[in-house]
Amino acid sequence: MRIVIVGGGIGGLSAALALRREGFEPQVFEQAPALLEVGAGLAVWPNAMRVLSKLGVAEAVFERGGQLKRARWLDSGGRVFKHFSFEEDDAPAVALHRADLQGALLRALPPDSLHLGKVVRGYECARKDVRADFADGESVNCDLLVGADGLHSRVRAQMLGEERPVYRGYTVWRGITSLEHTALAPDTATEIYGGGRRFGIGPVGRGRTGWWATANEAEEVEESASEHRGKLLRLFGGWCAPVTELVEATATESILRTATYDRAPVRPGGEKNVTLLGDAWHPLTPNLGQGGCMALEDAAVLARCLAKCGDADRALRRYEALRYARTATVVRYSRRYGAVGQWQSATAVRFRGALLSALPERVGRSLLSWVFDYDAYGVDV
Ligand X SMILES: Cc1cc2nc3c(=O)[nH]c(=O)nc-3n(C[C@H](O)[C@H](O)[C@H](O)COP(=O)(O)OP(=O)(O)OC[C@H]3O[C@@H](n4cnc5c(N)ncnc54)[C@H](O)[C@@H]3O)c2cc1C
Whole-number minimum distance, CB 206 to ligand X, in Å? 17
Query: Is residue 7 a contact residue for ligand X (CB under 6 A)?
Result: yes
Nearer to ligand X, 174 or 326 (CB): 174
Q: Does 243 bind ligand X (CB under 6 A)?
A: no
Rounded to whole angstroms, how far apart are CA atoms 236 and 244?
A: 7
* Contact call for residue 196 and ligand X (CB under 6 A): no
Question: What's the closest the beta carbon of residue 133 comes to ligand X, in angstroms?
Answer: 10
Q: Is residue 92 at the binding interface for ligand X, with CB under 6 A as the rule?
A: no
Is 289 a binder of ligand X (CB under 6 A)? yes
H-type alpha helices, the chain: 10-21, 46-54, 58-64, 98-107, 154-160, 228-235, 243-248, 291-308, 312-341, 346-358, 361-372
Contact indicator for 256, 8 with CB cutoff of 8 Å: no
188 strand-pairing partners: 70
Determine if 42 is a binding residue for ligand X (CB under 6 A).
yes
Q: Is 293 in the site for ligand X (CB under 6 A)?
A: yes
Asked if 65 is part of the footprint of ligand X (rule: CB under 6 A), the reply reads no
Among 209, 244, 275, 290, which residue sits at the site for ligand X (rule: CB under 6 A)?
290
Pick one of 200, 242, 292, 341: the residue that binds ligand X (CB under 6 A).
Answer: 292
301/284 Cα distance (integer angstroms): 19
Stretch binding ligand X (CB under 6 A), from 26-34, 123-131, 156-164, 340-348: 26-34
6 binds ligand X (CB under 6 A): yes
> Is there a contact between 371 and 223 (Cβ–Cβ < 8 Å)?
no
Nearest Cα to Cα of residue 218 among 171, 256, 254:
171
Specify the 3-state DSSP secondary structure of 309: coil
Q: Which of 5-13, 49-57, 82-90, 325-333 is the region at the interface with ligand X (rule: CB under 6 A)?
A: 5-13
Indicate the SS3 state at residue 74: strand
Are 55 and 14 in contact by the 8 Å Cβ rule? The answer is yes
Residue 172 near ligand X by CB under 6 A: yes
> Which is nearer to ligand X, 37 or 311 (by Cβ)?
37
Min dist. Cβ of residue 9 to ligand X (A): 2
In the bound complex, what is the minimum distance in angstroms from residue 120's beta carbon to ligand X? 4
DSSP 87-151: PP-SS-EEEEEHHHHHHHHHHTS-GGGEETT--EEEEEE-SS-EEEEETTS-EEEESEEEE---T
Q: How many residues bind ligand X (CB under 6 A)?
A: 33
Strands 144-147, 197-205: pairing is unpaired
Please list, in sequence order, all residues whose beta carbon lies within 8 angstroms of the beta carbon of residue 336, skipping any fewer than 6 positions away: none
- Is residue 43 a contact point for ligand X (CB under 6 A)? yes
Query: For ligand X, what does the binding mask look like between residues 257 and 276, x meaning CB under 6 A?
Result: -x------------------
Q: Smaller CB distance to ligand X: residue 221 or 355?
A: 221
For residues 134 to 163, the per-residue mask of contacts with ligand X, x marking binding by CB under 6 A and - elsewhere, is --------------xxxx--x---------
Spatial strand order of the sheet with 144-147 comes to: 114-115, 27-29, 3-6, 144-147, 274-276
Q: Which is nearer to ligand X, 182 or 282 (CB)?
A: 282
Can you give the binding site for ligand X, defined by CB under 6 A? 6-12, 29-32, 42-43, 119-120, 148-151, 154, 172, 174, 258, 278-280, 286, 289-293, 295
